[in-house]
Structure 1
Amino acid sequence: MVEHSNRKDSRAAEAHQSSCLDPFGTWKMSNAAHGFGYPSFVSYNGLEMVWAILFYVPRWLWKNWEAGKVSALRMDLNLGIISEVEKKLKKKLLIDYMYSNLKHHNFWAYRYFFCEFLSLINVGGQMVLLDRFFDGTFFTYGIEVMSFADRDQEDRIDPMIYVFPRMTKCTFHKFGTSGNIEKHDALCILPLNIVNEKIYIFIWFWLLIIGFLTFLVLVYRAAIIFSPYIRALVLRMRYRRVKRECIDMVIGKSYVGDWFLIYLMGQNIDSVIFKDVIHELAKKLGYRSRDIGET
């Protein structure tokens, strides 16, 4: 604890020491004597590009794996107002597809679940990446900011200034009148860090919330995978027009991949048409009831 405190005090003090201006005009603080450096503006931009790419990867994977299956099966049945002949034909095509391909959608669905899991790994990886980027200070950055006001005055070090220094000693190199390179020292303000400290405190909370919500989604997904009862319950709650017995019949004769496809189709086609599709599918699977006639 003492070593960690000394390290923080030392780094906070060094925040006002040497820096240089790189050839592209961006500030880059450094302290070779103590073996650490402060990230430059170019580094921040590069890191944000990495975030964007990594967060897009799960969506890109699913977009390629899904390959427009739901859109193809929808067949304009989301419109609702279509001719009866066309409606019957398209419903029959959809029912025949779902019946003939029953129990063959697990691999397709598990790839979507993998993308959800990859999203959680991505959030955790982003936290680790940022923590390494900021020399082990990002994990506790939000906590430090929230607890800053409650600390004793003599022990109070603003964590935002500690991570994002606002002032530093600058060394300018330029050609003098004799043609030699001259060094000029000045006290420089880093106004961009005033913005960066606010951005990264938002990112800290944002990643924390996203990680927690993604974890809850994975818990829900695990319950869906291992419990047919929960799968049926979700469909009954989401699609109340469909008869409970028909849902139970379909879920009892299908796998989780079929449930996932049915759930997505319910979100993408007209609710009345979806009800007819599930009722007809249940009849093909063996459900018998006078309440369900030909549709």
Structure 2
Amino acid sequence: TYCWIHTTFSIENAWKKRVGEEVPYPGVDKTTPNEKRIYHAYYQWVCFVLFFQALAFCVPRYLWKAFEGGLVKNLMLGLDRPILPEEDRVRNIDLVSYYLYRNKKLHNTLFLVHTITEVLNMFNVIIQMMVMDRFLGGEFSSYGWDVLNFTEWDWSVRYDPMIKVFPRLTKCTFHRYGSSGDVQRHDAMCILPINIVNEKIYIFLWFWFYFMAIASALGLVYRALTILYP
């Protein structure tokens, strides 16, 4: 439909009005002069943004794999196999220990690259969170907290924050010729069923990204401690 392929919008001052009495749906109200509109165009691009985000997360890993060239896997000598015979396990441990002792200063560059990829992982998470926040109109940064605090809000002003970020019903304006040939303006309501899926995707991503940000930060702290106190 026209509304689906073009940008839709919500009315900002209609979010907290009583549904069924003042408005038919949160964010949907009659047109008034100087109304402040919140436009929604992201839903057309969600799949593409998620795809490129997934590719961005693969970059540090492939950089590390390309530089490391399978060295770590070769050093394992099957020690990660639970069915390795005990005599082979002892012999392989001795071989790895001997190799590391004889070459303990020859892999500083490898360690540096590994540390750089860990830093890239951290920046990757932070930058992607900023991109998603911009993509969703500044709503992603507090999205998870708003959903968690939803049940504690006053019932008189309570509305689902997921509906505000991902409305299922919005407005759109289009023009067409009338019977006399004049251009007429029409206000219509647009149903966005895809946002039922989008809201679940992004609430999961909010928790997942914050978890990854904390885990990456702790990993960098650990890496700094191993460098300062070897």
TM-score using structure 2 length: 0.71
Q: Secondary structure at the match of 1:135?
A: coil
Indicate the residue corresponding to 2:45 in structure 1. 43
Say yes or no: does 1:147 pair with 2:159. Answer: no
Q: Which has the larger radius of gyration?
A: 1
Letter in 2 for 1:55: F
Query: In structure 2, how many angstroms separate the alpha carbons of the residues matched to 1:205 and 1:67?
Result: 33
Q: Tell whether the 8 Å contact from 1:17 to 1:168 is kept in structure 2 after alignment.
A: no
Q: Secondary structure at the match of 1:169?
A: strand
Which of 116, 124, 127 is the aligned partner of 1:125?
127
Q: CA deviation at 1:153?
A: 2.5
Q: CA deviation at 1:35?
A: 6.7
Q: Secondary structure at the match of 2:206?
A: helix
**Which stretch shows the higher mean deviation, 96-105 or 132-141?**
96-105
Query: In structure 1, how many angstroms separate the alpha carbons of the residues matched to 2:36 and 2:60?
Result: 40
Relative to 1, partners in 2 of residues 1:110 and 1:173: Cα closer, same or farther, differing over 3 Å? same
Question: Number of residue pairs matched?
Answer: 205
Q: Tell whether the 8 Å contact from 1:16 to 1:165 is kept in structure 2 after alignment.
A: no
Say yes or no: does 1:58 pair with 2:60. Answer: yes
Say yes or no: does 1:108 pair with 2:110. Answer: yes
Q: Secondary structure at the match of 2:45?
A: helix
Q: Which runs of 5+ in 2 are unaligned?
A: 1-10, 17-25
Which of 192, 202, 205 is the aligned partner of 1:203?
205
Q: Secondary structure at the match of 1:37?
A: strand
Letter in 2 for 1:16: V
Query: In structure 1, how many angstroms separate the alpha carbons of the residues matched to 2:97 and 2:206?
Result: 47
Q: CA deviation at 1:81?
A: 4.5
Indicate the residue corresponding to 1:16 in structure 2. 28
Query: In structure 2, how many angstroms separate the alpha carbons of the residues matched to 1:211 and 1:17?
Result: 39
Q: CA deviation at 1:157?
A: 3.0
Query: In structure 1, how many angstroms separate the alpha carbons of the residues matched to 2:98 and 2:151?
Result: 65
Which of 158, 164, 168 is the aligned partner of 1:166?
168
Query: In structure 1, how many angstroms separate the alpha carbons of the residues matched to 2:79 and 2:140?
Result: 49
Q: Tell whether the 8 Å contact from 1:169 to 1:186 is kept in structure 2 after alignment.
A: yes
Which of 70, 73, 92 is the aligned partner of 1:71?
73
Q: CA deviation at 1:188?
A: 3.2
Q: Secondary structure at the match of 1:136?
A: coil
Q: Secondary structure at the match of 1:168?
A: strand
Say yes or no: does 1:189 pair with 2:179. Answer: no
TM-score using structure 1 length: 0.57
Q: Secondary structure at the match of 1:102?
A: coil
Percent identity, aligned pairs only, is 40
Deviation track 1:249-269 (CA, whole Å, cap 9, x = no partner) reads xxxxxxxxxxxxxxxxxxxxx
Pairwise CA RMSD of aligned residues?
3.9
Letter in 1 for 2:45: S
Query: In structure 2, how many angstroms separate the alpha carbons of the residues matched to 1:181 and 1:71?
Result: 70
Query: In structure 2, how many angstroms separate the alpha carbons of the residues matched to 1:50 and 1:78?
Result: 34
Q: Tell whether the 8 Å contact from 2:147 to 2:161 is kept in structure 1 after alignment.
A: yes
Which of the pair is proportionally richer in helix? 1
Q: CA deviation at 1:183?
A: 7.8
Q: CA deviation at 1:72?
A: 3.5
Q: CA deviation at 1:49?
A: 1.3
Relative to 1, partners in 2 of residues 1:11 and 1:47: Cα closer, same or farther, differing over 3 Å? farther
Query: In structure 2, how many angstroms separate the alpha carbons of the residues matched to 1:57 and 1:45?
Result: 19
Query: In structure 1, how many angstroms separate the alpha carbons of the residues matched to 2:99 and 2:193?
Result: 61
Q: CA deviation at 1:64?
A: 0.8
Q: CA deviation at 1:113?
A: 1.6
